[in-house]
Structure 1
Amino acid sequence: MCTGLGSGLFLGLFLALTGCGRQAAREAASRPAPPPRPATSARKDWSWRPVGGLAILEGELASPAELVLEGRSIREARFAEAGPVRWELFRPPVGETALLRTASGQILARFEFVLPPPARVAPPKPSTRAASAIPPKARHADPPAQAQVSPVLPARAKVSPAILPARAEVGPAIVPARPPKALPGLPAVAPDRVTPLPSPTPFLLPRAAAPAPGAGPWPGMGEALNLTRGPGGQKRLLLSFDGGSNAEVATEILDALKARGVHTTIFLTGAFIQHFPALVKRMAAEGHELGNHTMNHPHFAPGMKRDPKWTKERVQGELLEADAALVRLLGRPMDPYWRAPYGEQTAEIRRWAEELGYRHVGWSEGADTLDWATPKERRLYRSGDAILQRLRQRLDRDGDGLIVLMHLGSERAEKDRPSAGLGAFMDRARREGWAFVPVSAFLHDLGKPAWNPQLRLAFLQSPTPAPQSR
């Protein structure tokens, strides 16, 4: 009797405990799982390499992040998922220094965009003190540049303007300031072998020299002209060329133009003029118009909205500094045209340029040949033959007055450069009745008053010698 009663009590207790366990399990299963702890944005070494007019940034993120690349003349942002990251952007000016950080402020890398590409840098040993810059060691020809991140940096380090390159303003023009010191905790991605350009004595724009809007020697100034197509009816087109920092195909292009007696318009940066003075002298001697492409090829207006840091004085300074480089080389100013880097400009910026005697010349819709893109840029790349074939088709469709954009630099294999077939393309177009003209021909037929570039010399102040150190 007692044994049966004890067995019953034990069985009841067992069933009750089992039921409670099942109920607890059901409640636990119904509760949402706790969110995973967010991983930090730690990553493997970041690097960059130039490809045509692009800079390719590569690295790795442990968690999704909004990335910001910010320097003196650039500010680019994009969202990246966790894992390997490959970021393509237009290459910043030579010598630009920029920080790569997350939107929350965590600094990932510091880049120096130099040419030729920087060599690999050995990673620094962890230290409680800020690491100093480590001398680069070349491993092979033209390797990607490495940007190291020191573990001593705080997770939410803010970007201080003091560590970014700056320009000291003198009047409305700008002159280079002293280069920034190495960022504490981040060794600079230094070049393996770079012959620095001599720092030219700047030509300054006197404050009293700039005319007020609507005044000055430029008839029609203030129109904010943006020439993207010439007048029709005469089967003419403009093959325009930009010279930024490279010149691999410049000689081939100049040879093709000279052999056919074609004069065109070439837009040059001040950096190109300093790097390739013999080519610039040849362009002038062979009768080509030389337009302004700014000194350092900055981003004035990403998304066609002016970056607030590009004030009127700074924009005009970029234009005048490039023009001064040509004056020093040839003794005469640039022709009265300019082309905004990356095509980024606004009506306001165009008016500022017109105060100095430059009308803006863009290119026709769909007439950017993207001739600089290599097979690595899959979205942008077309073979050299395909580029010229598309141009031929465009002439047949709506080529009258077309303004075509091509470049003097190309990192493609020689057989894959459009310049290799440019002469044959021009010969065929001429047989079909087409003529090749410079910008001035289009502006004349549009009824725009001619602007004398010599009048711009009044805006350029003769340099004064720097004081001798004692």
Structure 2
Amino acid sequence: MLLTLAMPAMAGAVCERPVYLTFDTGHMGVAPLIAEVLQRQQVRVTFFAAHEKTREGDGSLGEHWAAWWRARAKEGHEFASHTYDHAYWRGDQPEGGFRIRPSSGPQSGQDLRWHAEEYCANLHKASDRLQQLTGQAPLPLFRAPGGKHSPALLKAAQACGYRHVGWADAGFLGDELPSDKYPNARLLAQALERIRPGDILMAHLGIWSRQDPWAPAVLEPLIQGLKRKGLCFATLREHPAYRAWVQDHPLSAQNRP
């Protein structure tokens, strides 16, 4: 069954100056706290998910986190692929295909050669698992790990049903940066100054390398500050650059090219 439930306070609301908050997976250590903030602030977001190593449990798309993903679906959030193995594009192959280095899964850290079909299979694997976990068809969108891609990779992904989603320059919220050089107060002030309507924002559900976690310390004051500036929050299903693609390319095994 396809769930399209909205948060209660969002029912009937019209978002006229939207920003699009997105989260990629990570170690999931702050995922419960992020969920509490989103629920308290009545904000819907889009999650890009890979099956990444986590601080506890069997990976970000494992059974340990299944209830967490189901709860987010009931709250009206959206979901999309981040490749199942968090597979970084490293370059195009002269004879076709791509150089890939997964950071998760059994081939983590290895330099691989994937054909377009293999890359698409990894996109599909994350989408299929998300649908299993949430009972909701994911969006026909993806985010390449690190935002790294090429025209050839984007063409291959589009041929198997996916449009790529990056982020605005101002939407890079900085949770991957070292906290000694980029403390939370600086990242918050910078985001509040720079973010504009229409921007896609990007953060993570946990970053291993950051000593002073960005979330939830920055997340709630950021949401509150943007609201005070007259901005509101929407999912990528509603983004004007992706709305038609999402509508015309329902993502399921039956509809795959």
Structure 1 length-normalised TM: 0.42
Gaps of 5+ in 2: 1-15, 53-59, 101-112
Give the corresponding residue for 2:197: 400
Q: Per the alignment, in what secondary structure is the counterpart of residue 263 of structure 1?
A: coil
State the number of aligned residues. 217
Find out whether 1:437 has 2:234 as its counterpart: yes
**Structure 1 gaps, min length 5:** 1-233, 461-470
CA distance in 2, matches of 1:445, 1:325: 22
Among candidates 99, 113, 134, match of residue 307 of structure 1: 99
Rounded to whole Å, the distance in 2 between the matches of 1:390 and 1:365 is: 11
Measure how far apart 1:357 and its partner are: 2.3
Query: In the alignment, is residue 420 of structure 1 matched against residue 224 of structure 2?
Result: no
CA RMSD in angstroms comes to 2.8
Q: Distance in 1 between matches of 2:17 and 2:131?
A: 35
Instruction: Give me the whole-angstrom Cα distance separating, in 1, the residues matched to 2:68 and 2:217.
Output: 18
Q: Kindly tell me: are residues 331 and 287 of structure 1, through their superposed partners in 2, closer, same or farther at Cα, counting changes over 3 Å?
A: closer
Aligned-pair CA distance for 1:354: 2.1
Task: Identify the structure with bigger relative contact order (alpha carbons < 8 Å, sequence gap 6+).
Answer: 2
Cα distance, 1:323–1:420 mapped onto 2, change above 3 Å? same
CA distance 1:311–1:329, shift in 2 (3 Å):
same
Name the residue aligned to 2:253: 457
Q: What is the deviation of 1:424?
A: 2.1
Q: What is the Cα deviation at residue 437 of structure 1? A: 1.2
Aligned to 1:316: 120
Q: Aligned residue for 2:183?
A: 383
**How far apart in 2 are the matches of 1:324 and 1:446?**
21
Q: Counterpart in 2 of 1:269? A: 50
Identity %: 26
Structure 1 outlier segments of 4+, above 6 Å: none
Distance in 2 (CA, whole Å) between partners of 1:322 and 1:404 is 21
Contact 1:235 1:434 in 2 (8 A): yes
Q: Does 1:255 find its partner at 2:43? A: no
What one-letter code is carried by the residue in structure 1 that aligns with 2:99?
D
TM superposition shift of 1:283: 1.6
Cα distance, 1:290–1:298 mapped onto 2, change above 3 Å: same
Distance in 2, matches of 1:237 and 1:328, equals 28
Alpha carbons 2:139, 2:246 under 8 Å: kept: no
Do 2:170 and 2:191's aligned partners in 1 also have CA atoms closer than 8 Å? no
Equivalences for 1:26-425 in 2 at 5 Å? 234-244=16-26, 246-271=27-52, 272-274=60-62, 276-302=65-91, 306-307=98-99, 309-375=113-179, 381-395=181-195, 399-411=196-208, 412-413=210-211, 416-425=213-222
- Provide the TM-score with structure 2 as the length reference: 0.74
Distance, in Å, in 2 between the alignment partners of 1:346 and 1:440 is 24
Contact 1:247–1:409 (CA under 8 A) maintained in structure 2: yes
- Answer with 1 or 2: which has the greater Rg: 1
Change in 2 beyond 3 A, CA 1:331/1:433: closer
In terms of fraction of residues, the more helix-rich structure is 2
User: Deviation at 1:296?
Assistant: 0.7
